Amino acid sequence: MAEELPADQVLKTTPLTEAHGALGAKMVPFAGYSMPVQYTEGVLKEHLWCRESAGLFDVSHMGQAKLRGVAPLHAFEELVPGDFINLKPGRQKYSVLLNQQGGIIDDLMAARPDDDGLFVIVNGACKENDFKVIADELAGQVDIERFEDRALIALQGPKAFDVLKQHVPEAVTMVFMDARRLAGFDGLDLYVSRSGYTGEDGYEISVPGHAAISVWNTLLADERVKPIGLGARDSLRLEAGLPLYGHDLDETVSPVEAGLTFAINKNRREQRDFPGAARIAKELAEGPARTKVCLKVLEGAPAREGAEIADEAGNVIGVVTSGGFSPVLRQGIALGFVPPLHSEVGTKLKVIVRGKSQAAEVTASPFVPHRYVRKL
């Protein structure tokens, strides 16, 4: 999860950097920040702990902002293919910011936790460009208030509900993709959503930066909670079949190719009034030239990003965009793009790892079942 940086670039820190140091975290550059890739127990144990109990993540590098104006939900639809005009108060929606060619500038979450505009969370590596695009394209329609003084903490896993209810009692009535502005941890002003990036039940909690370490330590004082770094966050999201921007998504990939058609609401498909609508409508009607698949690697080493995908005859037909070892399945898994003809579940393929051809098979998404709580 580390990245190469210019020698003179100074890494940003989050309000929780000091807490990571106290826990012995291994810090790496990520999205321009110094972030914990793992703690003392290591990635494998962290991953399994999150699947079995409750994991705590610092995701404060993400971009948080409020979009306000006369009609911010209406204006936002000029940039995304989702139905935000009809987004109900207290709800959150996944969407994608599109360029004029129908490619994905970024994927994001947007919510109505209160009656004060639209609360948007975007990826850390993309946030400067995202907010510039929003500001430029919606100039005169929305004002952007960036929440630079807030931290973002994710509590994920089957025991997250029982842990959080002690500190934010009102969170117990929330279900998957609910988003609310609540008081918790002795009166702090919080933005809470029941969502996450692991496939597990859990919450993302925006907290005032000055209180971040106190909240973090309070949650870690519970024996059911352990800190989880970026390494396990990546393997957890991969098992959940969730894309990572800059790897499985970029400005050449459409939401149809990426298997994100659920983010294109029916009324928006009919209206065709979002960026790249012509391309996306054509792909919906005729099928895309390539499509995302989930692969189980049946032998050999895991196939990493950049590995070629071949058909049974050995003809190269695609590429792996994310790949690694699944601690739950105990085998290699990967996401990649292939022509639709080769995307049927059960299709036998090959991945080329270090020059060696290894058997692989298209499987259904997700690799590990999601455990979202959709109703109480």
> Can you say whether residue 31 is alpha, beta or left, with left for phi > 0 and alpha for psi between -120 and 50 degrees?
left
Q: What is the pLDDT of residue 2?
A: 56
* Nearest-angstrom CA–CA distance, 293 and 155: 28
Q: Using the predicted structure, report yes or no on whether residue 3 has a pLDDT greater than 70.
A: no
Structure tokens of 48?
Answer: 């399994």
Compute the distance between CA of residue 153 and CA of residue 109 in angstroms, rounded to an integer. Answer: 15
Specify the pLDDT at position 113.
Answer: 98
Distance of CA 340 to the CA centre of its chain: 25
Q: Quote the CA–CA distance of 240 and 146 in Å, as a whole number.
A: 30
Every domain range in the chain assigned CATH 2.40.30.110 = 289-363
Burial bucket for residue 121 (CB in 10 Å: 0-12, 13-18, 19+): buried
**Whole-number pLDDT of residue 271:** 96
Look-up of token digits 């499987």:
363
- Give the position of tokens 């994905």: 104
Q: What is the mean pLDDT of residues 131-154?
A: 98
Q: What is the pLDDT of residue 9?
A: 74
Count, residues in the chain: 376
Residue 86, helix vs strand vs coil: coil
- Would the pTM of this model clear 0.75, i.e. be above it? yes
Residues 165, 215: contact at Cβ < 8 Å?
Answer: no
pLDDT tens digits, residue range 294-324? 999 999 999 999 999 999 999 999 999 999 9
Q: What is the pLDDT of residues 89-116, one digit of tens each?
A: 999 999 999 999 999 999 999 999 999 9
Range(s) within the chain of domains with CATH label 3.30.1360.120: 17-59+149-239
Closest CA to 142 of 171, 119, 168: 119
Q: Under CATH, what is the fold of the domain 289-363?
A: Elongation Factor Tu (Ef-tu); domain 3 (2.40.30)
Position 287 scores a pLDDT of 97
Considering only CA atoms, which of 105, 59, 61, 115 is closest in space to residue 80?
A: 105
Q: Is the peptide bond before 15 cis (omega within 30 degrees of 0)?
A: no
pLDDT mean across residues, the chain: 97
The alpha helices in the chain, defined as continuous H runs, are: 17-22, 43-52, 72-76, 127-137, 160-164, 212-220, 230-239, 266-271, 277-286
Q: How confident is the model at residue 6 (pLDDT cuts 50, 70, 90)?
A: low
CATH number of 17-59+149-239: 3.30.1360.120
Angle at 353 between CA 349 and CA 355, to 5 degrees: 105
CA 52 – CA 159 distance, rounded (Å): 8
Closest to 335 in 3D by CA, of 365, 357, 310: 365
Mean local confidence (pLDDT), 232-247:
98
Any idea of the CA torsion for 163, 165, 166, 167, to the nearest 10 degrees?
Answer: 100
